[in-house]
Amino acid sequence: MRRITIALITALSLPLAMATPAGAVGLDDAFAKLLVKQVKGPNVKKHLEALQAIATANGGTRAAGTPGYNASRDYVAGRLRKAGYKVTLQPINYVESWSENAPPTLALTAPGSKSYVPNEDFYSFQPSPAGDVTAQVQGVDLTLPPAPSPSSNSGCEESAFAGFVPGRIALIQRGTCAFAQKIRNAGRAGAAGIIVFNEGQPGRTDAFPLDIGEWRADVPMVFADFAVGNELASTPGATVRLKVDSKLVLGTNDNVIAESRFGDPRHVVMTGAHLDSVTAGPGINDDGSGTASILEVAEEMAHFPVKNKVRFAFWAAEEIGLLGSDQYVEALSEAERDRIRVYLNFDMVASPNYAYKLYDGDNSDNVGSPAGPPGSAEIERQLQAFYASRHLPTVGTDFDGRSDYGPFIAVGIPSGGIFTGAEGIKTAEEAALFGGTAGAAYDACYHQACDTMANINDTALDVDADAIADSIARYAFNLRSIPSRTAAGAAPQVAKTAT
Ligand SMILES: [Zn+2]
């Protein structure tokens, strides 16, 4: 653990004590310069070597549910505690296994009676827990007859459940947002069971087996064809029996969360990287690079009297569905969410054939997902300014939902970060900007056994660790460019994953 000199502490605490606006203006700049100087590539690489050694000692992986993950957790938590942080381990659930003992049951019990045919009219929605419930069905924002093209927003927003009576079975139409999101909202609204049915356009009428891969609601759920959904929706007071006979085994991994001792807890600067790898490899670029970088920043700033609270997150189970960040955000109250002023995500920052990509907060690239929540554009601009100060170019990268910022932007928390590229192919324009090889992947070892220490670009790691330090340091003292939020102002966005 490296210490700062007394002179530095004095330089920082003096303007704080004076607390004049003029004094505060320069403080973010001064702290950014100091922290960037303290944060060093070789220190980041020491953490990477530790993660590599952990993978090597644990079958070549640090994936969710493996001993390599727990060893990674212990390493990071240990370093943070040693640096003086209060460390919290937050247990996260993931699906360890799921199997079906018998076909599911879906039957109309009133008015009249009718049994639907399992594994034809409807299927268990994997990973549905076991359950047997008889209750009235309530449709959620259904579009019947269906629109000419797929567009149903049924169940995508929590507000759609405002009039939902807890204890009923939610009837939800396919469309627009991820199944997982509809299911989670229904679970939160107190549904006793969930029927999702196909939307109804040509080619979107049948039932089929579906796996959302994530555990989202603790009630039985099935996926039905359009005819079943349409019939139940058009039967006033329809009551059904819904039974799923399955065995769901949940596993647990921990998020590692650490907070600065100093700083105003009403203004939280949050940063995160995922701590798990895929099963195929040690995950040294993905995302050892982000993990090691923010860990180094945490160690170097442990004793600085920052103005705003800085919170470091090392996420569990990102590679199997952003589970760590998702369950973290879900567990926060509205007030706790509002206190997180920015979320900075660093997932893959040292790709061997790198480009300096910044999340496109203002959607200036006009591709894929819309702009991030208000403040995201400002985060992108602040990161751009750092690279510009080193005469380095940057390009945008879409908020495509492939990393842990997803759950944050979904609840209106402004986000940004750096990404040096994964399996995508570097363009000729990018090769002209950044060097490297056009027509080749940014990271040819993405999600493979060869994502080892040899898969790290030292230049990118060094520059990005400094950019990360600069960004965290500035927000640790100055959040004026970021609009403050209230519950009313934080309009949830709809996640744009598979529908
Ligand atoms: Zn990753």
Known active-site residue 380: no
DSSP string, 122-137: EEEEETPPPEEEEEEE
3-class secondary structure, 68: helix
pLDDT tens by residue, 1-14 = 223 333 344 444 44
Q: Which of these, 464, 423, 447, 441, lies nearest to 62 by C-alpha position? A: 447
- Neighbouring CB atoms inside 10 A of 212's CB total 24
Give the Å distance between the CA of 270 and the centre of ligand 1.
18
More confident residue, 118 or 214: 118
pLDDT tens by residue, 408-461 = 998 999 999 999 999 999 999 999 999 999 999 999 999 999 999 999 999 999
pLDDT tens by residue, 339-395 = 999 999 999 999 999 999 999 998 988 888 888 999 999 999 999 999 999 999 999
Query: Pairing relation of β-strands 340-346 and 131-139?
Result: unpaired
Task: Check whether 18 has a pLDDT greater than 60.
Answer: no
Give the Å distance between the CA of 355 and the centre of ligand 1.
16
pLDDT tens by residue, 57-107 = 999 999 999 999 999 999 999 999 999 999 999 999 999 899 999 999 999
The one catalytic residue in 214, 318, 380, 430 is 318
Helices (H) and strands (E) in the chain, counts: 13, 15
Give the Å distance between the CA of 477 and the centre of ligand 1.
28
The residues, any chain, with a CB within 8 Å of residue 159's CB and separated by 6 or more, are none
Strand partners, 201: none
What are the phi and psi torsion angles at 126 (to 5°)?
-65, 135
Tell me whether residue 203 is exposed, middle or buried, using C-beta atoms within 10 angstroms of its C-beta: 0 to 12, 13 to 18, 19 or more: exposed
Give the Å distance between the CA of 404 and the centre of ligand 1.
9
Give the Å distance between the CA of 286 and the centre of ligand 1.
5
Q: Which of these, 153, 217, 228, 152, lies nearest to 189 by C-alpha position? A: 217
Per-residue confidence (pLDDT) for residue 371, from 0 to 100 = 87
pLDDT tens by residue, 231-280 = 999 999 999 999 999 999 999 999 999 999 999 999 999 999 999 999 99
Angstrom CA distances, 310 to 79, 200, 266, 411, stand at 17, 48, 11, 20
Rounded CA gap, 309 and 477, in Å? 9
Contact between 303 and 343 (Cβ < 8 Å):
no
Q: Which token pair is 259?
A: 């907070």
Per-residue confidence (pLDDT) for residue 25, from 0 to 100 = 52
